């Protein structure tokens, strides 16, 4: 007798319509043994180098590891996609991406987007799913993360009230960092970080319905303890000397402006061996996990 786990997908025997012919059937033995490839802990230094080269043209530079993930669409993690965007001074790039929202950090340069003007160090959120022009007034390099892979899986765009643009100027970000620096912590505090949200998503404390954004800081000579969570994380290193992360047993030295992927569930920690404050921007698909009650944050020790 054949084990249930060895049975193939079953098709309807005599479908009477096209809708009935689309039906497929699995069982409790073969439906839950899907073997997915692991999420690699890549750093995309070569993508940053290509985007930041002096002669690089205006365009999108994708942090894509879809081949390793087994995805038929670009993806940095199963549900998120990171890019660098190069904008030559005076040029415009119009984005029209199937995403809930576009999380953007200006690494250098100045420019204009709908409802805002950006400067170096600014963070802003733009709505996805519609034409969005970005115009550079100076040579610009920006970093962007979206949930395009999630939507490529078939999730729907927002309904009649899409996300609105939100601007977090660098001066206001510095003010928020100073506020937390003057506060105390407790043993359950995961780090010293500013979490970005909006008036529309204040109750959820997310920057989009599915993504979370935090600017983490780490004092000189300190380390964030080893921890894990069920969300994948995409990290942009912004400031620090002699810093590194440990992801599993892999040591990942920091290089400013590079992007690191922390696979879901992997134990990881961040270390500042320098004499200045370290800063790193982290996007996670945490909004999904918070809503599903599956975040699973825990210190490893």
**Residue 235 lies inside a defined structural domain of this protein:** yes
d(CA 145, CA 251): 24
* 217, two tokens: 């800081």
Determine the pLDDT at residue 288: 84
**Residue 6 lies inside a defined structural domain of this protein:** no
DSSP 20: H
Q: 22-29 long-range contacts, Cβ below 8 Å, gap at least 24? A: 28/4, 29/3, 29/4, 29/5
pLDDT at 198 over 70: yes
**Residue 4 lies inside a defined structural domain of this protein:** no
Rg (CA), the chain: 21
**Residue 7 lies inside a defined structural domain of this protein:** no
- Cα 31–chain centre separation: 29
Q: How many residues does the chain have?
A: 301
**Residue 31 lies inside a defined structural domain of this protein:** no
**CB 129, CB 91: distance < 8 Å:** no
Please identify which residue in the block is written with the tokens 């930041």.
52
The phi, psi pair for 165, rounded to 5°, reads -65, 140
Domain housing 184: 45-299
Residue range 260-283: average pLDDT? 93
Residue range 245-251: average pLDDT? 89
d(CA 202, CA 25): 42
d(CA 168, CA 125): 9
pLDDT at 158 over 80: no
What secondary structure does DSSP assign to 139-154, as a single string?
-EEEEEEE-HHHHHTT
Q: What is the CATH number of the domain that holds 179?
A: 2.60.120.10
- For 103-137, write each residue's pLDDT tens digit: 999 999 999 999 999 999 999 999 999 999 999 99
* 297, two tokens: 């944050």
Determine the pLDDT at residue 275: 94
- For 54-110, write each residue's pLDDT tens digit: 999 999 999 999 999 999 999 999 999 999 999 999 999 999 999 999 999 999 999
Determine the pLDDT at residue 170: 95
Q: Are strands 278-284 and 233-239 parallel, antiparallel or unpaired?
A: antiparallel
**Residue 203 lies inside a defined structural domain of this protein:** yes
Average pLDDT, the chain: 91
**Residue 18 lies inside a defined structural domain of this protein:** no
- For 38-55, write each residue's pLDDT tens digit: 999 888 999 999 999 999
Q: What percent of the chain has pLDDT over 90?
A: 69
Determine the pLDDT at residue 280: 94
Domain count, the chain: 1
What secondary structure does DSSP assign to 252-278, as a single string?
EE--TT-EEEE-TT--EEEEE-SSS-E
**CB 92, CB 268: distance < 8 Å:** no
**CB 228, CB 300: distance < 8 Å:** yes
- For 220-236, write each residue's pLDDT tens digit: 999 888 888 899 999 99
**Residue 24 lies inside a defined structural domain of this protein:** no
């Amino acid at each position: 007798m054949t084990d249930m786990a060895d049975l193939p997908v079953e098709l309807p025997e005599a479908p009477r319509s096209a809708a009935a012919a689309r039906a497929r059937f699995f069982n409790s033995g073969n439906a839950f043994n899907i073997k997915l490839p692991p999420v690699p802990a890549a750093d995309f230094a070569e993508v940053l180098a290509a985007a930041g080269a002096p002669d690089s043209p205006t365009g999108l530079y994708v942090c894509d590891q879809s081949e390793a993930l087994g995805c038929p669409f670009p993806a940095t993690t199963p549900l998120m996609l990171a890019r660098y965007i190069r904008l030559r001074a005076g040029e415009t790039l119009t984005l029209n991406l199937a995403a809930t929202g576009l999380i953007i950090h200006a690494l250098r340069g100045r420019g204009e987007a709908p409802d805002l003007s950006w400067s170096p160090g600014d963070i802003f959120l733009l709505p996805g799913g519609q034409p969005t022009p970005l115009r550079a007034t100076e040579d610009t390099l920006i970093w962007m993360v979206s949930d395009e892979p999630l939507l490529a899986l078939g999730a729907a765009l927002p309904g009649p009230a899409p996300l609105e643009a939100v601007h977090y100027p660098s001066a206001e970000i510095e003010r928020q960092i100073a506020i937390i620096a003057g506060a105390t912590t407790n043993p359950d505090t995961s780090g010293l970080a500013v979490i970005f949200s909006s008036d529309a998503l204040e109750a959820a404390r997310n920057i989009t319905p599915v993504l979370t954004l935090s600017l983490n800081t780490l004092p000189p000579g300190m380390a964030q303890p080893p921890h894990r969570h069920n969300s994948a994380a995409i990290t942009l290193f912004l400031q620090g000397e002699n810093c590194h992360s440990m992801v599993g047993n892999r040591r990942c030295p920091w290089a400013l402006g590079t992007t690191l992927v922390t696979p879901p569930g992997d134990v990881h920690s961040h270390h500042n061996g320098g004499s200045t404050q370290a800063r790193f921007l982290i996007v996670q698909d945490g909004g999904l996990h918070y809503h599903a009650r599956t975040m699973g944050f825990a210190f490893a020790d």
